[in-house]
A and B are shown apart, each in its own frame.
Chain A
Amino acid sequence: MSAPRIVYNEGYLDEQTKRVVRRALLKGVAIPGFQVPFASREVPMPRGWGTGGVQVTASIIGPSDTLKVIDQGADDTTNAVSIRHFFEKVAGAASTTLTEQASIIQTRHRIPETPLREHQIMVYQVPIPEPLRFLEPRETETRRLHALEEYGLMYVKLYEDIAKYGHIAKTYDYPVLVNGRYVMAPSPIPSFDNPKMHQNAALQLFGAGREKRIYAIPPYTDVESLGFEDFPFEPQRFDRPCEICGSSGVYLDEVFIDDKGGVMFVCSDTDYCERTATAGERRQTMEKSA
């Protein structure tokens, strides 16, 4: 293989930019849930495709890291694969699909089913970082509301849901209160995953490229999903197991299996599903052989 014609700086971004992002990250960690503005740069993908997440990852990744990228829980979608390849190329990082082995997990829409551990970092791609935007489009005003801890508005949204549907209908990007202070958009993860953010051992970083915001949840931080006393937050539940691996209590995707509208429900976390299925087969084989 011939030498590449362009030599990229480690992590693609130049050092100055990485410093900018890291400073924002440090500030984010210091003020859990607070949206830190940063000078979002161009990266070789369109904005809205995870440029925020990519810039965060680029600023923290190095050759000793192992990167996992998931998109809707899957490691094998085009976007996930190309981001993984990108960092293999520009940061010399190893990549993996195994949650346990990853030091950095960049994600869109999911938190892995496998519990995270200390020293792991979750990087969330965030399209809209402002949880109050639904009711208050003025950024100047929402910033003020955060600063003064005025979150009545957030509850108006939940109130409207209950008034309309009899329950809080929001099932993704469900607002959370971080460390008892800032209301935060957890990115469009399903509310099923919300409880995983609470007191998580891993560091959670959030990057919104188009919106130029970075925020963070340090390890072991309280993350409370908002709700009313009489209508508390309820994560989604699935009343069936995965049809591939048989796991229950996991987030399921509805997958079409033929042209006649036939569907099956399977794990959205492909890594978890595969390993559970393999382990199950092994157990079955062992039981047979026993």
Chain B
Amino acid sequence: MSYNVNNDLPENAVLSVQNVGKTFTLHLQESQRLPVLHGLTFDVPRGACIVLGGESGAGKSTVMKMIYGSYGTDSGRILLRHQETVMDLVTAQPRQVLAARRETLGYVSQFLRAVPRVPALDVVAEPLIERGISRETARERAGELLTRLSISTRLWKLPPATFSGGEQQRVNIARGFIIERPLLLLDEPTASLDARNRGVVIELIRESLGRGTGMLAIFHDADVREAVADMTVDVQSFTPAREQAAA
């Protein structure tokens, strides 16, 4: 597969990252500038799983966050196929980014950022409810997913904040997979899972890919990576020299 050189989003891609750069400015540390990415370019085709590779600290999570919009992007374009249009996430208004998150762009992070007090079942069901699905149906679907990920029913009514790391992660995965979105970002979703649950996640990923979802993932576990990756993008090769940072 060749990197996209056109300015526009290729026919078969859900996402096209084009010549993207990012520098952090640390105002609290004498306005130190910390370049992390430079010229990053890759596409995520429909139904394919692109894995971000590179050592820890290479900026893999930064890429994820820039695409999701929780980090800003200094240069380049991040084109997303959103409904009938192509949206440049670099320049999109907050409201457009929110619309993209609701309809097009899913994100399963490593950590669950759950609101206190909300029961696990509702945490998982929420994305469906936000789409206007009835609470009852949404909870039913949430229950199915939680069962698949072996979260015992006695935990469903409890807020996930009280769960173990692995349990929280599975709740997070269920929440990410409960609705089908054209692009799913997976940031180490299997980091603290046992082999059996990793297997379930692989299944979920494959089912989603089979339905045409494009995925961009960071995997800690080699077995998961090998099972689902279609291509790896080495983020490290887009990392500028760190002299300034080291100075």
A–B direct touch, CB within 8 Å, in complex? Answer: no
Give B residues with C-beta under 8 Å from A. none
